Amino acid sequence: MQERLYNGKTKLVGLFGYPVEHSFSPPMHNAAFAALGLNLCYLAFNVPPTALAEAVAGARAMDWLGFNLTIPHKEAILPLLDEISPEAEFLGAVNTVRIVEGRLLGYNTDGEGFLQALRQGFPQLNLAGQKVVIIGAGGAAKGVAFQLIKEGVGRLILANRTPSRAEAVVNALNKIGGAAAAIPLAQVAGELADTTLLINASPVGMYPHADVPPLVPQEALPPHLLVCDLIYNPPQTSLLQAARRAGCPTLNGRGMLLHQGAIAFTLWTGHEAPLAVMAAQLPD
Ligand code: NAP
């Protein structure tokens, strides 16, 4: 790790999670702070659910620049905040907080992070009017779906193991102008012939269970289909391997991880994030 000198003016940015030991955010943000010569320090704190309010009060009292939240605090933080962005309100989840003159302002950068990663990986892709299928209906699926609707996708299909959860998300999406529908997970294969983008927003295939078969078999993947997996460990999930064999373009979750962090960096510092510096701290 790069050597840094801190002094009486150093400001803190934190991560509250439980656990946090394996987070990539501290090296990613500290490398970015160092690259821009910012007198800031990012540290991760293992905060059990019962201590979140105390931890947040401490951050406010110590005038931190802000903090990130990860599992299990993304929803529990909401009543502790002074303001939340429209996206975070829609999602009912916050992953980034700015502290401005003692006020706590909450954001959710996951969905926009995914979209920026997609734009970076596939600059020619125009999703307006296109059909997108998302597997999953959890926090990540909802965040990505929210952004895709803002992007003007034509038809959004959510396929989830628990159908009622997908239906609840679809109802919420359609209230903000989406044309979304829920289908059973078993019907995904039949939807793909006219689909532009397939996104796995479930943890199926994630370390340490990387050798499970993909939720969609290779035979169901037409070669025009762009296949994304939000998982970044392993970098090539069983779904992405199947997609590559089927001749499909693919994208893993590393870019989303990078860009959600880059958006948070800009919210805190007001500076454009040094993407290459931050990316160098992430696993390949
Ligand atoms: P979550 O809120 O717990 O939702 C998980 C979703 O996956 C639910 O819809 C769940 O279905 C479904 N699921 C879980 N196990 C399944 C199984 N065995 N078969 C079929 N479906 C299953 O989790 P999340 O926060 O949305 O995260 C989802 C994935 O996105 C994780 O792999 C996470 O690592 C990844 N992610 C990546 C980034 C990034 O920066 N790259 C950011 C956020 C999340 P039920 O409703 O039936 O339980």
Q: Is 74 annotated as catalytic? A: yes
Query: For 238-254, what is each residue's pLDDT tens digit?
Result: 999 999 999 999 999 99
List the structure tokens of 259.
């860009």
Mean residue pLDDT of the chain comes to 96
What backbone torsions phi and psi does residue 2 show, to the nearest 5 degrees?
-65, 140
Comparing 1-5, 15-19, 76-80, which segment has the lowest mean pLDDT?
A: 1-5
Share of residues in the chain with pLDDT > 90 (%): 96
Contact 254, 260 (CB under 8 A): no
259 HSE (CA, 13 A, CB side): 19
Pocket lining: 230 vs ligand 1, CB cutoff 6 Å: yes
Residue of the nearest CA to atom 13 in ligand 1? 202
Query: For 149-203, what is each residue's pLDDT tens digit?
Result: 999 999 999 999 999 999 999 999 999 988 999 999 999 999 999 999 999 999 9
Longest dimension (CA), the chain: 61
CA of 266 from ligand 1 middle (Å) equals 26
Contact 45, 15 (CB under 8 A): yes
pLDDT at 1 over 90: no
Q: Kind and range of the H or E element at 53?
A: helix 52-61
Could you give the residue ranges of the DSSP H alpha helices within 109-231? 110-121, 139-150, 163-175
What backbone torsions phi and psi does residue 249 show, to the nearest 5 degrees?
-70, 150
What is the rounded distance in angstroms from the CA atom of residue 61 to the CA atom of residue 32? 25
pLDDT at 119 over 90: yes
Q: Which of 244, 213, 207 is nearest to 228 (CA)?
A: 244
Contact 204, 212 (CB under 8 A): yes
What is the rounded distance in angstroms from the CA atom of residue 45 to the CA atom of residue 55? 9
Pocket lining: 204 vs ligand 1, CB cutoff 6 Å: yes
SS3 (DSSP) at 84: strand
Contacts of 44 (CB under 8 A, 6+ apart): 14, 15, 17, 20, 21, 23, 25, 26
Q: What is the mean pLDDT of residues 33-56?
A: 98
CA of 200 from ligand 1 middle (Å) equals 8
pLDDT at 274 over 80: yes
- E strands, the chain, are 11-17, 40-46, 66-69, 83-84, 96-100, 103-107, 131-135, 155-160, 180-184, 197-200, 226-229, 250-251
CA of 275 from ligand 1 middle (Å) equals 26
Pocket lining: 116 vs ligand 1, CB cutoff 6 Å: no
Residue with tokens 């373009």: 249
